[in-house]
Amino acid sequence: MNFSGLQHIRQAVHTLNPNHVRELGERELKVALYAATPADYGQLEDFLVQGLGTERRRDALGLIHRGPDPKKVLDYDLAVYDESVLAPRRALVFHRNRPQRLVSTVLDNFDTTVALPLAKNFPPFRAPYITRVIRTVSRENAIFSMATALPDIIPSLVEIPWALTEFASDTAVLTANQIKMAFILAAASDREVGYREQKSEIAMLIGGAFGWRALARQLIGKIPFGGGLIPKAAIAYAATKLIGTSLERYYRIGYTYTREEREEIYAEAFQHGQRVAGSILKKLRPDLAEKNRVFHDANSHQSTSL
C-alpha cells in the first residue's frame, strides 16, 4: 500500500457524510394502517414488528397509526391496507398468504428516505433492503472500474450518482463507495453509524482495498487493450459483494464468515459480476464485448482466487 494511494482514499472518504445516513435512519416515519377489526390490525402490526425486543417493538409500534382520516393519508410516509378492507386503486395491500409481496412493492416504489428507516424499524424490510443496497453498490463499482479503463465511455455512465473525475485513484472512489455502503448497512441494521462507531469496519475496508485492486491491475495489464475489462469489473463487483454480505452478517449476529465461506461467496460473486459487467459493456462498447467474452473463460481461474 503506497502513501499516494492512502492519500487518495483519505480525500475520497472525507467527502462522505455519515451524519446524513444516520439522520435518514433516525427519521421518524408515519405509517398509516387500515384494517377491518382490532384482530386484523394486530396481525398486520405483528408482521411489521416481528423479532423485535420489547423496547424496540414499542418504539416501532409508536410509528404506526391505526385508521387515520383517509383525507389526511398524504400526511403519512406509508399507508398500508389489510386485505380485510376495500383498498383504493394502486394502494399498498397486505395479503396474509403473501406478506413479502408488500415488502417488495414498497421497496420498488419508495426511495432511501423511506426505505432506510423502514428497514431499521421493521424487520421484514431489513434483509431485502440490505440485499438491494449491496447489489446496487456492487454494480456501481463494477461500472466505475470499467470507466477508469475506458475514459471515452464516462459521459454515458448516468447510473453512477457521484462525480467520476474528482479523484485521481479509482481505488479511492471504489473504497469510499464501500464505506458509504457500510454506513447504510449499519443504519438499516439498527446499529450505530459513523467513523468512530465503525472504525474497525472502515480500517478493514481500507486495508483490503489494495489487494483486490492489485489483482485487477495485473489482469488488465497482461492482455491487449480492453480485453480484461470484464474480469477487472468482476473483481470490483465481487469484492464489494463480499464486503457487503460480510458486514450484513456481522451486524446481524455479531461475527462474520470463515475464510472458506468468504472464498465461496467471492467466487460466486465473481461469476455473477462477469455477467453483469458483460451486459453493461455490451451496451456501452459492443466492439469490446466479444474480445472480453473470449478472454474471460481462459483467465477466470486466476480472478476467482483472491
For residue 244, which of 135, 150, 159 has the smallest C-alpha distance?
135
SS3 64: strand
Place of cell 473463460: 297
For residue 157, which of 209, 85, 233 has the smallest C-alpha distance?
233
Percent of the chain with pLDDT over 70: 75
Domain assignments of the chain as residue spans, ordered by start: 3-23+123-303, 29-110
- Number of Cβ within 10 Å of residue 174's Cβ equals 28
Residues 83-115: tens digit of each pLDDT? 999 999 889 999 999 999 999 999 999 999 999
Band of residue 12 on the pLDDT scale cut at 50, 70, 90: low
Q: In whole angstroms, what is the distance from residue 248 CA to residue 253 CA?
A: 9
Q: What is the pLDDT, as a whole number, of residue 31? A: 97
Q: What mean pLDDT is predicted for residues 17-44?
A: 95
Tell me which amino acid residue 11 is: Q
Candidates 3.40.50, 3.30.420, 3.30.950, 1.10.287; correct CATH number of 29-110?
3.40.50
Band of residue 257 on the pLDDT scale cut at 50, 70, 90: confident
**Range among 31-40, 159-168, 235-244 rated most confident:** 31-40
Q: Please determine, for residue 279, whether its predicted confidence score (pLDDT) is greater than 60.
A: yes
Average of per-residue pLDDT values in the chain: 82
